Structure 1
Amino acid sequence: MRVSKAEHTERPWRIHEIVGDFKVEDVWVLRTPGGGPDDLPRLVSSLLSADFPEGAPLPVRVVWNVRWKLGALFGWDREKEGVGARVPSLMERMPDDLLNAPRGPGFQGVPFTSLYLIQDEWAAEMANRTVHTVMHIGWVPDGSGGYRGQMAVLVKVNGWFGRAYMAAIMPFRYLLVYPALMRLIERGWRESAPAHD
């Protein structure tokens, strides 16, 4: 479920210290029933094992594959357009305590890099010719004694082309990609629940 950007901006996240020039693009609630105060690593593992886009419905897979084929054709995702080339890594902005914190798990098959994993936050970055973006996963009290996940996407667009690209993909993100991703993450969360005797 998509929620107000204030759900991200009004919380005292550490990510605010390093992304002051980024825009909050989207904020989504991740349903994590039964989540406890120390379960963020479990959620992050669920996210990274979500089988996306392969496990998503056919229209999502088609849109996803078209995007990557266009990126290959036009060079949007070349190494020289990424983190450490077109843009410096956000690790260069991180305070020492975050630099010394665990980074979090690595990604398979997608060009994101984990920045840090602390008790209530995980962040990862990616850049291409269109944007420099951060996926931020927060772990927040759910109001009923448990905890839930919250995903924010923060973006710094690369000029007019980046703005046009973000506008063009908006309907696909909201109608297809994010809802499918949320379902896969939530399914992974349920499947990773510890067995009770």
Structure 2
Amino acid sequence: MRLPNTAHTARPWRIHELVGDFVLEDVWALPTPGGPDEFGRFVEIYSDDSRSKGSVIADALFAIRWKLGALFGLDKTDGGLDSRVASLRDRVPEDLRTGPRGPDFGVFTSLYLTDDEWAAELANRTCHAVMHMGWVSDGAGGHHAEMAVLVKPNGLFGKAYMAGIKPFRYWLVYPPIMRSLAKDWQRRNVGRTAG
């Protein structure tokens, strides 16, 4: 479920220290009900590259994006982290830098992992982006993950690109990914409680 930006900005997340020059694009509540100590398991499941990521349509859109990226050179290494833009690793405070970094996954490079936060970044010729996951209490003893996507578009092209993909993200990418994550979370919870 999509949330207002204040669901992310009102929390004292450590990521705020790193992304003052980024734009908050999206905030989503993820269908991952769990206990207070299950964030590590959530990170493990979410970052599992073998996990189904969505629907045939979402997979097709990602495949098209990677083909267009190759055709137009959007994802060349000279347009990425530590080439076109500096990684946010240099902004990570010492206490987070010396702690667990968390898993890299897909095209994302992990920045840090705490008991209730995980952040990873990517950069290409369109933007520098951060995916932030937080483990949030529901106030009644339960918890769930919330995802925030923060971006720094690369010029006018990057702004146009982000605006152009917005409807696809909202209608064709995020919903099936959320459904797939909910199924995986529930399946692994059933297996865990049965074991």
With structure 1 as the length reference, what TM-score do the two structures score? 0.93
User: 3-state DSSP class of the match of 2:32?
Assistant: strand
Superposed CA RMSD: 1.4
**How far apart are 1:196 and its partner, in Å?**
4.1
CA distance in 1, matches of 2:98, 2:72: 38
Residues 109-120 of structure 1: pairs in structure 2 closer than 5 A: 110-120=106-116
**CA 1:128/1:106 → structure 2, altered by over 3 Å: closer, same or farther?**
same
Is the CA contact 1:49–1:188 (under 8 Å) kept in the aligned structure 2? Answer: no
Residues 1-197 of structure 1: pairs in structure 2 closer than 5 A: 1-33=1-33, 35-49=34-48, 51=50, 56-107=54-105, 110-193=106-189, 194-196=192-194
State the AA in 1 paired with 2:128: H
179-188 vs 64-73, greater mean Cα deviation:
179-188
CA distance in 1, matches of 2:177, 2:15: 22
CA distance in 2, matches of 1:63, 1:51: 18
CA distance in 2, matches of 1:62, 1:31: 23
User: 3-state DSSP class of the match of 1:192?
Assistant: helix
**How far apart are 1:48 and its partner, in Å?**
1.6
CA distance in 2, matches of 1:130, 1:6: 26
Structure 1, gaps ≥5 residues long: none
Is the CA contact 1:141–1:148 (under 8 Å) kept in the aligned structure 2? Answer: yes
Q: Deviations over 1:5-52 (max 9, x none)?
A: 10000100000001100111000001222x111111111112122756
Is the CA contact 2:127–2:152 (under 8 Å) kept in the aligned structure 1? Answer: yes
With structure 2 as the length reference, what TM-score do the two structures score? 0.94
Is the CA contact 2:53–2:181 (under 8 Å) kept in the aligned structure 1? Answer: no
**CA 1:4/1:51 → structure 2, altered by over 3 Å: closer, same or farther?**
farther
User: 3-state DSSP class of the match of 1:165?
Assistant: helix
Q: Deviations over 1:47-106 (max 9, x none)?
A: 122756x65322212211111100000000001111111111101011100101101113
State the AA in 1 paired with 2:149: V
